[in-house]
Amino acid sequence: MKRILGTFILVIALCLISACEQPKHSSTLERILDNGVLKVGTNYGLTTYYHGATGPEGFEYELAEGFADYLGVRLEIFPYYTLNELFPQLSSHHLDLIAAGISVTQERESKFRFGPAYQSVSQKIVFKQGNVRPRSAVDLTEKMMVIAGSSHAETLRNFKEFHQHLEWQETDEKDAEELMEMVLNDELAYTIVDSNILALLRRRHPDLSIGFTINAEQGVAWALDQTQDDSLLAALIEYFGLIQKDGRLAALEDKYFGHVRQFNYVDTREFIRSARTKLDEYRPWFEQYAEDIDWRLLAAMSYQESHWDPKAKSPTGVRGMMMLTLATAKEMGVKSRLDPEQSIRGGSQYFEKLVKRIPARIQEPDRIWFALAAYNIGLGHLEDARVLTEKQGGNPDMWIDVKQRLPQLRQKKYYKTTRYGYARGDEAVTYVDNIRRYYDTLVWLDGQDADTLDEAEDAAQTVAD
């Protein structure tokens, strides 16, 4: 018996020694921290990742950059053109995660793990304004195309069980905007678009109309490899919990989507028409006097103020392209508010002055949104709203918090406690949102013009050669 016990103890000891000699496998998170790099896959797109004037931009990019900073590592972005290229990179362990506005669907959950949902989107059937509106899946009888590997294709496969007539094509050669342009050009009858992307693109293409919601709201989350341990997922949960609590997630969402939640078809059509027919006359002055401000933002302000009408006049007495008061015009050295060049110069200089008076600790782009609100209702009323925000537990340096309190300046129980009293703060919120929408559209239109010019120059060079 003693011999058997001794043999057993020896076996246990040998096993323990063997276990100690085996290499210890580090977790996914430890590997990322040791390497000092977070590898994130995404796709090119308006809401995901693209190269802007000052470098990489995009809602998903900024979220990923924030997560890398949270971990204390360097971010490496790997952008792909199609979802069918992107997902295999995760399965083959070339990426740590995918941040690409991915909707969490039943089919995808069977293949990947997902972090916490940080947005909700619904899927919309879109068609061209003026064509017959499809009101249900029964009406989808004409040509339709969706992106291959997308949640939209999965939705259609699910609908096919109940609507055998459904036919569609899947493509890797087009993105969401190109499919919508095909709808506008009558090359397609319909496509499917996520609600957040549609909200942005209708500012460029107002003739896109919604037929019906083909899939209700789904969560949007980052995808992780199904075989990895829980360490990276745990870090994601902590990160998203933190930025939700401190307001950074809400501020980032407001930066990209907050100003496009409301859509006005007539206003958008009229703005694009005016930009193409009236803006060229005044553009040289916007460019000349914008200085450190993007001239397109100044032009968007002017459209909101006067619809680019040099003789515009409001009941309160403000006049001209930039709707200057007499006092402001005098301060800026404007002798005639009806002279478009003088008005643009004066408005630009006054706005620049407001930007400089916003507290230095307030970061971009909130600093610009605050200055726009001040241009509309004055710095005093803006400061009142910031004080109310702080008293109510919000962050007075974040636009998303302050814009919730600006409408309170119309309510006696709030404005009687402020220094400057009553103000139409809700109008200031609308004012800023409108300018942001006009600005986005001008940036897109300006890019379109540049592309057209490049194509013309290339064609001319080809002929010359």
- So which residues are the catalytic ones? 305
**Distance of alpha carbon 246 from alpha carbon 335, whole angstroms:** 48
Instruction: Name 78's bridge partners.
Output: 41
- The dihedral built from the CA positions of residue 216, 221, 224 and 229, taken in this order, carries a sign that is negative
CB 221 within 8 A of CB 114: yes
C-alpha distance from residue 93 to each of 61, 80, 96 (Å): 20, 15, 7
How far, in Å, CA of 67 to CA of 236, rounded?
8
**Ramachandran region, residue 242 (left: φ > 0; alpha: ψ -120 to 50; beta: rest):** alpha
Q: What is the dihedral sign for C-alpha 128, 129, 134, 135?
A: positive
CB 330 within 8 A of CB 311: no
**Two structure tokens written together for 212:** 């019906």
C-alpha to C-alpha distance for 299 and 303, rounded to whole angstroms: 6
User: CA-CA distance, 348 to 426, in Å (whole number)?
Assistant: 24
What is the maximum alpha-carbon separation in the chain?
112
